[in-house]
Chain A
């Protein structure tokens, strides 16, 4: 139950909360403005979460539909972005659960990539120094980072995306994901250590060719 003073505080501090209160009063222009502010951000996070642009767009639309349907009972109990991404997290979790039940597998293999058909295995090999290091262009780097992100579990991935793309605090991420701030701290720590282990060869080898005597640290 949100107190009136809390609700007022959020309304004063957060312009998006004020917009949502206008949506509550059936202001269509306010709803459109919120959409314009958040649709890109939602698609970004959801696309990296579910690894499918079309699905990410569908989920984003679902989020806005839920926002619209919930407008009459909206009470500002958090920042608007926290509330919105809580809905997004819920929508994404449902979608991922359905996806795993249907046993859909999204294959994003680039045959022409640096590691051929098994990019993750390639990363492991690279870290052992068995593959020749070479300069990676921006597209390859992007693909490698996406694959590294995919190697995380869904909760780690969501926490990383909210932290990186939305700049959310641990408290806000905790509220979005219905976890404690301490749990988020642990989750993000494990996620970043995992990312480091997968990506480290690229940091170490970077743009410079690695001399034969310096295979790994």
Chain B
């Protein structure tokens, strides 16, 4: 447990003491501060006197009236709110056509945007198969010949043989 300082001088920092006493009366102090105030009150008659005086004036506020309102007031308040509610409904009705127009515009713009997005997606997708086909064109042009060959190694062997047997033709092709 932390070492507690000696009892504070009650006359020092009177503003702060009164603040603590008011908070103590209001139940707003934490446990530690509560204990400190209670220790002070047990030993300091001036602090006790201040506390009693603060409590006494606070209790005097009980002399203030608490208002009672009657049915007339309740009824007039409800009527006022009902009038405000009907004014809100009228305003809502007058704004409805404008809101509908705004909504239609928004829906149309949305549909247009969706169409554009769809077109773009399709266009992008369709481009790829054609690109692939273009890339494969040299193979496709000789597909019937390539069908006669079983593997690539044989093709490479054939190419090397052709270079040896027909060097002038290979030179022309390159």
Beta-carbon contact of A40 and B67 below 8 Å: yes
Any A CB within 8 A of the CB of B85: yes
Beta-carbon contact of B64 and A146 below 8 Å: yes
> Of residues 56 to 75 in A, which have CB atoms within 8 Å of B's CB atoms?
56-57, 60-61, 64-65, 68-69
Any B CB within 8 A of the CB of A9: no
Bound-state Cα–Cα, A193 to B16, Å: 12
Q: How far is the CB of B160 from chain A (nearest CB, A)?
A: 76
Minimum CB distance partner of A164 in chain B: B61
Chain A residues closer than 8 Å to B80, beta-carbon distance: 61, 64-65
Chain B residues closer than 8 Å to A160, beta-carbon distance: 61
Q: How far is the CB of A208 from chain B (nearest CB, A)?
A: 14
Interface residue from B64, B77, B88 paired with A35 (Cβ < 8 Å): B77
Task: Please encode chain B, from 38 to 51, with 1 for each CB lying within 8 Å of some chain A CB and 0 for all others.
Answer: 00000000000000
Beta-carbon contact of B56 and A44 below 8 Å: no
Any B CB within 8 A of the CB of A52: no
Interface centre among B18, B23, B67 (most CB of A within 10 A): B67
Bound-state Cα–Cα, A62 to B26, Å: 31
Beta-carbon contact of A170 and B26 below 8 Å: yes
**What is the predominant secondary structure among interface residues of chain B facing chain A?**
helix
Beta-carbon contact of B64 and A31 below 8 Å: no
Beta-carbon contact of A188 and B67 below 8 Å: no
Beta-carbon contact of B66 and A57 below 8 Å: no
> Of residues 154 to 213 in A, which have CB atoms within 8 Å of B's CB atoms?
160, 163-165, 169-170, 185-186, 188-189, 192-193, 195-196, 199-200, 202-203
Interface residue from A43, A185, A193 paired with B23 (Cβ < 8 Å): A185
Beta-carbon contact of A192 and B22 below 8 Å: yes
Q: How far is the CB of A192 from chain B (nearest CB, A)?
A: 5
> Of residues 71 to 90 in B, which have CB atoms within 8 Å of A's CB atoms?
73-74, 76-78, 80-81, 84-85, 88
Interface size class of B (residues with CB under 8 A): 20 to 34
Chain B residues closer than 8 Å to A199, beta-carbon distance: 57, 60
* B interface, CB within 8 angstroms of A: 15, 18-19, 22-23, 26, 28, 53-54, 56-58, 60-61, 63-69, 73-74, 76-78, 80-81, 84-85, 88
**Contacts A/B (CB < 8 Å), 27 sampled:** A40-B66, A40-B68, A40-B69, A44-B67, A48-B64, A57-B69, A60-B77, A64-B80, A65-B84, A68-B81, A69-B88, A141-B63, A145-B61, A145-B63, A145-B64, A146-B64, A160-B61, A164-B58, A165-B66, A170-B28, A185-B23, A185-B28, A186-B19, A189-B19, A189-B23, A192-B22, A192-B54
* A interface, CB within 8 angstroms of B: 31-32, 35-36, 39-40, 43-44, 47-48, 53, 56-57, 60-61, 64-65, 68-69, 138, 141-142, 145-146, 148-149, 160, 163-165, 169-170, 185-186, 188-189, 192-193, 195-196, 199-200, 202-203
